[in-house]
């Protein structure tokens, strides 16, 4: 699983829904994941900051921030440290001196300034807006190839057959992986969510085995690109320098892993959540079909309405921090609920309504805020734009195979993603 989503040895709970513990801690499990918006709505009303222990997949206790203003401020608060989380996780797994998974944790999402500033400056030299914009023909090619496989079918499981393989294909080509190896990489990457698609108990996190398998390949790819550079992101990361400083091999491997895994999760959920929201709101779908110029706004509304990540990557307080009138002691985990912030009625009128013409949808925090704003946001939007446009164009009769209310969601507070999305194509 991603290094910024550590598991702990806190005992799990089998309580259902969101129930209050004896010491005032909420326990979120079971029904919470089917409709987290209800719990977040209550927590916002009752103060905006609540100590919660998430059971099931996460099993982590920490302070959850729910209001939009509070979440936005917390995302940019230097007292809420990413590095402190990484260090705590390393101590927990006995990996503080290094080890097989240590170089997966050295990316900028797990660092604070000044190290974060150094890493982002170097990565920005290679991962530019111009590079991402130039990927459109490649994204269109992969979208077209995946949709070609659906032609002639009556129905499809749209996550497994479309939303899941697309971002993996895009990122492997972005990295310059040899064509002959991409099929094998696709199989490796699909293990990220193989459990949910098969109806199993997986939650969309990355297993240690999957992470190490991917990391082993990425290390070899970085070494290969040192002597065989090409027109790809890995080669450009190797070439990036500032004032004589360069990224290390471990830092490039970790950055590539972050883009492959975290970027993959975001894009899969964005596409699946968006298709589900559009097909579940026929009047909005009709408006988009009638005027494709509404698509950019529709993507922003999807990001707001069902944020691909429910909770931002974990923070830990380095000193007491007061949020919404509650003082959180030093050394406590803080979880910033993007899903809650994006339905805050103090910012968004009628926030539980899905409206692709909403004028202020771009105020969402789905991609974070501050120095840790998602570096892959532009690529995620690009893939969603091409995916939605082509899917709706090629399948005018597209509709849900079962009622929208019957949807099953991942039981993981960090990922807001469907377990399956079966659609009728004809």
Structure confidence by residue, pLDDT tens digits, 313-330: 899 999 999 999 999 999
pLDDT at 395: 97
pLDDT at 209: 63
Beta bridge partners of 20: 26
131 exposure class (CB count in 10 Å sphere: 0-12, 13-18, 19+) = middle
Alpha carbon 210 to chain centroid, angstroms: 17
Could you tell me which of 117, 116, 230 has the C-alpha nearest to residue 175? 230
pLDDT at 196: 35
Residue found by looking up tokens 């899917």 in the block? 391
pLDDT at 208: 58
pLDDT at 262: 75
pLDDT at 17: 40
pTM for the model: 0.87
Per-residue pLDDT tens over the stretch 131-158: 999 999 999 999 999 999 999 999 999 9
pLDDT mean by block of 10 residues, the chain; 426 residues? 33 36 66 91 91 71 95 97 85 50 73 91 92 96 96 95 93 84 54 38 49 82 93 94 88 88 88 98 97 98 96 94 95 96 97 98 96 92 98 97 92 90 96
Cβ neighbour number for residue 72 with a 10 Å cutoff: 20
DSSP assignment letter at 352: T
Alpha carbon 288 to chain centroid, angstroms: 25
pLDDT at 207: 56
DSSP assignment letter at 319: S
Q: 339-357 as b/e, with b when 16 or more CB fall inside 10 Å?
A: bbbbbbeebbeebeebbbe
pLDDT at 107: 82
Cβ neighbour number for residue 256 with a 10 Å cutoff: 25
Residues 6+ apart with CB under 8 A from 263: 167, 171, 376, 379, 380
Could you tell me which of 74, 54, 75, 51 has the C-alpha nearest to residue 5? 54
Q: What are phi and psi of 75, to 5 degrees?
A: -60, -25
pLDDT at 54: 83
């Amino acid at each position: 699983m991603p290094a910024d989503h550590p598991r702990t040895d806190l005992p799990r709970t089998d309580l259902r829904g969101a129930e209050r513990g004896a010491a005032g801690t909420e326990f979120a499990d079971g029904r919470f994941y089917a409709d987290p918006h209800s719990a977040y709505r209550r927590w916002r009303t009752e103060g905006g900051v609540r100590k919660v222990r998430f059971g099931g997949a996460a099993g982590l206790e920490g302070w959850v921030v729910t209001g939009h203003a509070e979440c936005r401020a917390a995302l940019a608060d230097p007292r809420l440290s990413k590095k402190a989380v990484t260090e705590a996780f390393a101590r927990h797994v006995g990996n503080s001196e290094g080890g097989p998974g240590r170089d997966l944790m050295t990316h900028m999402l797990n660092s604070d300034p000044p190290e974060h500033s150094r890493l982002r400056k170097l990565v920005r030299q290679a991962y530019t807006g111009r590079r991402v914009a130039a990927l459109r023909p490649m994204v269109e090619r992969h979208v077209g190839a995946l949709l070609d496989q659906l032609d002639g079918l009556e129905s499809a499981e749209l996550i497994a057959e479309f939303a899941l393989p697309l971002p993996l294909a895009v990122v492997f080509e972005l990295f310059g992986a040899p064509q002959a190896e991409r099929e094998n990489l696709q199989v490796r990457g699909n293990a990220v969510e193989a459990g949910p698609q098969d109806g199993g108990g997986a939650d969309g996190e990355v297993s240690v085995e999957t992470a190490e398998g991917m990391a082993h390949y990425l290390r070899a790819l970085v070494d290969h690109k040192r002597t065989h550079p090409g027109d790809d992101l890995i080669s450009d990361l190797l070439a990036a320098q500032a004032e004589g400083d360069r990224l290390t091999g471990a830092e490039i491997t970790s950055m590539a892993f972050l883009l492959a895994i975290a970027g993959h999760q975001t894009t899969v959920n964005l596409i699946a959540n968006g298709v589900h929201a559009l097909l579940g709101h026929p009047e909005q779908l009709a408006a988009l079909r009638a005027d494709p110029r509404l698509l950019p706004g529709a993507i922003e509304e999807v990001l707001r309405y069902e944020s691909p990540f429910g909770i931002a990557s974990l923070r830990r307080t380095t000193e007491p921090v007061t949020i919404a009138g509650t003082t959180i002691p030093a050394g406590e985990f803080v979880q910033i609920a993007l899903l809650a912030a994006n339905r805050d009625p103090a910012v968004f009128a009628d926030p539980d309504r899905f409206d692709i013409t909403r004028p202020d949808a771009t105020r969402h925090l789905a991609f974070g805020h501050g120095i840790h704003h998602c570096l892959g946001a532009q690529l995620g939007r690009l893939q969603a734009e091409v995916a939605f446009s082509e899917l709706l164009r090629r399948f005018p009769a597209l509709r849900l195979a079962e009622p929208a209310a019957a949807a099953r969601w991942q039981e993981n507070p960090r990922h807001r993603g469907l377990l399956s999305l079966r659609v009728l194509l004809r």
